[in-house]
Structures are given as C-alpha cells and as structure tokens.
A and B are shown apart, each in its own frame.
Chain A
C-alpha cells in the first residue's frame, strides 16, 4: 500500500516538473536582450518612433475615447472577460515613467512586464515579438516625450481561472514562440509590417476556443471575437481588376478605391494608422499580402437554414426593397459609384460566407474613414429603424445572390438575433 502511494506521489511530482519545463520551454531559448541604453533619445529616433507607433496603431487600444492620448484605460472585451489597456505615458507611478528601453523591448518581444508579470495576450506580442530593437527603442523614445498622465490601469475583469498568471503561462506555452533575431533579420519590409508592427493577424487569423490563433486558418479572416464584425481573408487576394496593387493600396491608404470602402474596425485601422504610412510601406504591405498562402477557411457560424421557397420569396421582396432604398447610391446593377458608394456586385464583403458585416452595415450604417486621400467620405444610412427585420433579411438575401453574387440567403431569424 505504502509503496503505491509513493509511486503516485512520485509520478505526480515528475509530471508537474515536466509540465513546468514544457511551460517554460519558450523562455529557455530566448535571445538575450541587450542592456538598457540610458543616453537620451535623438530627435530622429523620436520622429521615427511617432511613425512606428502609428504603424502599430497603439492608439487603437491605448487611447480611450475622450481620454488622454496613450493613457490607456480602454476596455478590450474578450470571451473571458475584459482587459483594460495600460498607460503608455511616462508617468512614474501609473505609466512607463520608470521603464527603460530594455524593459519596453522585453514587453514587446517576450510579452513580459517590467515587474516580470506575463502580459495578457490581448496585447499582441505574438506579432510584436518580430520587432527590431531599433524600432522598439524609437517607439519608446516617442512615448517618453508624451506628457505624463496620472491614470492607473484598471484591473482586468476576467472570469476565473483566466485572471491567473498560470493561465497566461499555459496560453503562451500553447500559442507563443518569441521570434529569433535571425528570423527578424530575414523579413522583408512587407512581412515585417504585416506580421510584426501591424499585428494584422490579431483580427485576420481566426481564434480557437482558448483565444489562440488557429494556424490551420492563418490569414483567412473570420469572426473578430468581442467586436461583432468579421475580418475578411487576407490570403488569396488575386491580382485582378478590383484587387490590383493600385486598388488595394488605395483602399489601405485612403479607405476607399474604385469599388470598395473599408468599414467597421478596419475603418478605424485606416483612420488611426494606415493612412499615415508612406506609399513605399503601403506597397510593401500589398506585395506581402500577395504572398500569403491560402489556407482553410474557418467554419462559418451556424445560421438558420433557408428553404428554396423562402429564399425565392426573400429574393422577390428584396428586389423591391433594393429598388426603393439602395439603388439610388449602389446602382440598379449593384455597380456603385467610383470612390463614393461601394459596388455590391462582386463585393467580398457582401458575398462573404457569413453575412455579419453586411448585416451590421445595413442596420447601423457608417462612414468610411476621413483620410487625406478622401477627406469627406460618403456615408451609409442606418436602416435599423427604417426597415423591418423581414425586409432587411430580404434585401441582404437579394444582394448576396444577384449580379453574379452567390452567397447563402439570410433568414429573418438571423437578422432578429442582432
């Protein structure tokens, strides 16, 4: 009896030991971080840092609406509860005031805070790990030049056990490998911007049940958890007509091109970040997107099935609704108007497997971003209080199946769920 207990205890200890080695594996082969450079930053560094902070859209999370810029406090909703962004201003007690450039680089590269805490992966260090030390130092130099704001980071409101450091540890063991110096050095500019600073994968690669990126679906878009929007696939965009290099570059830089406009969270990315990038960098991004290998599309969310008869009835009613409310701007043939109203015929957004984005836009409307290239965009009216739910289902079914579009019908139940 006693022997058996010793055996059980012994194997439990051995398992825990192996588990901790497994958990710590990614951290055992880290490249060492060079010590802090305490000399004051050069003007060039600060200027470069401003550009990089924009390219990384740090403000997207670290500036709360109506709050002081970069003072954090914005709630980031996850399926596990909310995490609040940290204060990046150089305040000694609540911001980065006591941090060094080495601390900052370690946070970016390894996802660890100055006090050794494992940072929540809502901070996309899975991408930022690809940053160079020089860029990280420049970003840090620019942040140091901000006015310090005294605003403590609110504690996360995660459900147990996700608030525990061990949960983050397990997540990291599953999903995070710090980049190697050699891998970073081998990246071209486009890859560096897309896979590093731009952290495009945060939305454009679907996440699994534990909130980790699903590598089988890399770059194929899918639901952006917590936002109620879908990201479109970035892989497999074929270089033709609407998706030529010039059209894609215009979409990223100005928010619109001949036949498309960005909307929802991507409108914010263009507004806060991409419109400020140099043309060379935009071109590098487009060129890298072309090289992304197509993967398996993530499973579309389950929606109520629509019978052939229901579909025909929805299409018939949809044609009437379209003529009354949509055709003025989007055209009788869904052709849109160049740089004003997006085309619906052949639109990736309209024909996506999931109707989420088309439904959101129809219900809530919205504007493409104001950018230097398109300062006064044309907006889409909200139809949530103008059209009945059945009429919205009808018109969506119609635009998803007309003019050569071929996407599943949208049921009234799916609209009512919103």
Chain B
C-alpha cells in the first residue's frame, strides 16, 4: 500500500489532475505549478501547519483542501483590508496577485486535515445549531447553511468554503466578525446579511454543532451547488 503522502500515488495524481482542470476554469491563471512551495511558505506553516493543516485545539483554521477561489479571495481580502488580521495583512502586504494565486492553488491541492470532533457543546447548543444549519429560519430570512455550503457542508467549487474540520473558536469568531462588520465579502455580502440576523448565542451554537459533527477523511468540496443560491452573494462566482 502506498504511503498516504507519497507524491505519485494514483489518488494524489487524479486529485491533482482534477484540480488543475478546475483551475483552467478558474480566474486564477493556470500555469505550471511553482516548485518548492512548501519551503517558500514556511511563514504560513508557523500558524496553519505543514501543507496548511491544523489539527485539534487551535484558533488557526486548516486551509488545506479549501476551494482555490475561496482561498484566493481571502488572501486578497486580508491584503487589501476587507478582512482584519494584523499578522496576515503584514505578511501579504508586498505579495502580487500572481503569487496569491499560486498560494491558493497550492493549499487547495493539499489533502485536508483529519479533525477530532468537538466535545464541549451543550445539548441545547446542538439542538439550536442543528436546526439553524439544516433548516434555517425562513421567518428571519436565514437560509439553511447547506443551500450554499453543500449538502455535506464541505463547500462548493470554486468559491464557497467548507464549514467542516474547522476549530469551533475560529467559526465563532468569523461569523461574529461578519455580524460586527469586521469581516466582509464582495457585495452583496450575503454572509454579512445572515450573520447580522443571528444572535451571539445562535452563532456559538452553530459553531459548536458544526465542529461536533464527524468529518469524513475523504471529504471534498462539491462540484456544484445543490440548487439555486437562496440569496445574492457577490463573492460566489458561477
């Protein structure tokens, strides 16, 4: 049996082919991959782990295997001040769009992290979290998370991120940042609209429920949305 991280394993190869072919459709220019990316990006590994995988009790999100267009948009947002993080902004300040594209492409091609499930959620939180995630709340114009983030909540290519395999603290902080206007996406900013409709307790419950669900090792972003987008999103490319 080949070692899981063997660079020439058939699964890896087909994944690479798939991603490369996806990239031809993506706005991030597809060119021959830049060699040596792990060494170039040691600065990122300090927080996001080797090949972009963080596991366990940490704030820093695992970025391996997230959709490339999503990663690219976040890098751009940090660099250009739409997302606030002092270290990220300082790191990216003098990097070109082209390099950001290469960085996004590199992390998107890495297998995602295997996360332990979060066990600190209360039954009440789990109930609220599950209800809002699966069914939403039509009376408050909150669509179910799955309508956009994929039925398995593993994200949708090329620009919608998965919600699985992320630290609960990170999820909570991000949705809260959207609610408070500290994190923004391209207008119309659908996540901002949804987050502003949620209470702080609901955001914590959703984060806890998402992090409590087991996360399949071979989970990947879905190729297409389950249906029509329930809300206008400027950050989502067709």
Contact = CB atoms under 8 A, between A and B. Distances in A.
A386 B46 contact: yes
A370 B92 CA distance: 10
B42 A329 contact: yes
A265 to B, nearest CB: 10
A318 interface: no
Contact of B94 (A64, A267, A380): A267
A385 B46 CA distance: 9
B225 to A, nearest CB: 29
Query: B37, B94, B96 — which one has the most chain A CB atoms within 10 A of its CB?
Result: B94
A370 B46 contact: no
A367 B43 contact: yes
B43 to A, nearest CB: 3
A369 B39 contact: no
A64 B102 CA distance: 25
What is the interface of chain A mostly: helix, strand, loop, or mixed?
A: loop
A377 B46 contact: no
A268 interface: yes
B232 interface: no
Interface residues of B, number: 27
Nearest to B34: A376
Contacts of B41: 379
A49 interface: no
B93 A268 contact: yes
Contact of B42 (A255, A267, A379): A379
Contacts of A377: 40, 95, 99
A378 B99 contact: no
Contacts, number: 74
Given A268-B94, A370-B98, A378 B39 contact: yes
A365 B37 CA distance: 17
A383 interface: yes
B201 interface: no
A228 to B, nearest CB: 11
Interface in B69-108: 79-82, 87, 89-96, 98-99, 102
Contact of B43 (A268, A270, A375, A381): A381
Nearest to A340: B39
A56 interface: no
Q: Is the interface of B mostly helix, strand, loop or mixed?
A: helix
Q: Which of A271, A379, A380, A382 has the most CB of B within 10 A?
A: A379
Given A66-B80, A375-B96, A381 B46 contact: yes
A375 B99 contact: yes
Contacts of A267: 93-94
Count chain B CB atoms within 10 A of each CB in A268, A380, A381 and give the residue with the most.
Answer: A381
A379 B93 contact: no
Given A271-B94, A370-B99, A383-B46, A364 B80 contact: no
Nearest to A372: B96
6 closest Cβ pairs, A-B complex: A379-B43, A66-B81, A381-B46, A370-B96, A369-B94, A271-B94
23 contacts: A64-B81, A65-B79, A65-B80, A65-B81, A66-B80, A267-B93, A267-B94, A268-B94, A271-B93, A271-B94, A364-B87, A366-B91, A370-B95, A370-B98, A375-B99, A376-B99, A377-B95, A379-B41, A379-B42, A379-B43, A379-B91, A382-B91, A383-B46
Interface of A: 64-66, 255, 267-268, 270-271, 329, 340, 364-370, 375-383, 385-386
Given A376-B102, A381-B43, A381-B45, 16 more contacts: A65-B81, A66-B80, A271-B94, A329-B42, A366-B91, A367-B92, A370-B95, A375-B96, A376-B34, A376-B37, A376-B40, A378-B42, A379-B91, A382-B43, A382-B46, A383-B46
